[in-house]
């Protein structure tokens, strides 16, 4: 029989404290953050961490679900706003603020194998598409802007502002305004004919190819000569003494000494060690 009782208040507080401490720890140390450091930051024991999250992957998936759930809830709240364009701008502002507080974008890749994370991410994508479609219908966006375009541009303000680490922490707001002005229909520039499909933002970017080698100048061309093909070497023939019949075993030194001793006795001589001399008459 399953337990349907609600979780205790202290368990809810411990879980929230663990998620906040884990997010801070991952933001500072990346994937090298240990469970012991997370428990120490949250003020609980390691047993409490494993009681809520049996593995480190479960903890990462819970953090990603928490962050994606916040964006989905904000999008659902803004879906029926009176100003669709302002609602989309507010949603992008909430997403940029979340990333500015803790840049945990690398955790989204780590949680790709979790089915719950994939389902939550798809739900958030559908919310973004609904916001974009509503803003485009009301004339707040260009007619050729899609939800996939906005999903790919969500991290752009923080990414651009990261190249000026000594600037104001709110520098991302400037680039968010520039980006959103480019989505408005006034004074728009014609886009290329290629339009992104809804599945394009889920694909990994291709690996960059190596640049071609620079041609050598005539002064340095002689330093590296092309390899020439050499004829194959003939097979080495074994020494005649090294050839034994198949299956034969070389006798030990004791057996060979006994055999030599018997041969010396048969020849009428006396065998002393390794030398043999004839018996005196």
In a shared domain, residues 107 and 37: no
| Claim to verify: residue 181 and residue 95 sit in the same structural domain | yes
The pLDDT profile of the chain, 281 residues, written as one tens digit per residue, is 455 666 666 677 778 888 888 888 887 777 778 888 888 888 888 888 888 888 888 888 888 888 888 899 999 999 999 999 999 999 999 998 888 777 666 666 655 677 888 888 899 999 999 999 999 999 999 998 999 999 989 888 888 888 887 878 888 889 899 999 999 988 666 655 555 566 655 555 555 445 455 555 555 555 555 566 667 777 777 665 555 555 555 556 666 677 777 777 777 655 455 554 544 54
3-state secondary structure (DSSP) of residue 7 = coil
**Tokens standing for residue 173:** 């707001």
Of the residues 187, 214, 240, the one at which a domain ends: 187
Residue 202, in any domain of the structure: no
**DSSP letter assigned to residue 269:** E
> Which residue range forms the structural domain that includes residue 175?
57-187
Q: In this structure, is residue 214 part of a structural domain? A: no
115 and 141 part of one domain: yes
Distance CA 151, CA 128 (A): 7
Cα–Cα nearest to 23, from 97, 104, 96: 104
Q: Considering the entire predicted model, what is its pTM? A: 0.61
What DSSP element (H or E) covers 278?
Answer: strand 275-278
Query: Residue 49: which CATH number?
Result: 1.10.10
């Amino acid at each position: 029989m399953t337990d349907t009782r609600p979780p205790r208040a202290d368990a809810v507080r411990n879980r929230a404290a663990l998620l906040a401490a884990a997010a801070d720890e991952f933001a500072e140390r990346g994937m090298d953050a240990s469970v012991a450091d997370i428990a120490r930051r949250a003020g609980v024991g390691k047993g409490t961490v494993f009681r809520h999250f049996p593995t480190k992957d479960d903890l990462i998936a819970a953090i990603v679900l928490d962050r994606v759930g916040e964006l989905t809830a904000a999008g659902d709240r803004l879906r029926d706003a009176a100003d669709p364009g302002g609602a989309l701008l507010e949603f992008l502002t909430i997403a940029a603020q979340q990333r500015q507080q803790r840049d945990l974008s690398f955790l989204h890749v780590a949680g790709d194998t979790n089915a719950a994370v994939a389902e939550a991410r798809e739900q958030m994508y559908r919310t973004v598409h609904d916001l974009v479609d509503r803003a485009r219908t009301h004339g707040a966006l260009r007619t050729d802007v899609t939800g996939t375009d906005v999903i790919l541009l969500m991290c752009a303000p923080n990414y651009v502002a990261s190249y000026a680490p000594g600037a104001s922490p709110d520098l991302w707001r400037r680039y968010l305004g520039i980006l959103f002005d480019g989505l408005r229909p006034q004074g728009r520039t014609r886009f290329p004919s290629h339009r992104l499909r809804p599945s394009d933002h889920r694909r990994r970017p291709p690996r960059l190819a190596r640049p071609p080698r620079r041609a050598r100048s005539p002064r340095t061309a002689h330093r590296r000569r092309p390899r020439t093909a050499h004829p194959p070497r003939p097979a080495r023939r074994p020494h005649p003494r090294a050839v034994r019949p198949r299956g034969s075993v070389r006798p030990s030194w004791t057996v060979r000494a006994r055999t030599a001793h018997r041969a010396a006795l048969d020849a009428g001589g006396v065998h002393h060690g390794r030398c043999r001399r004839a018996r005196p008459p």
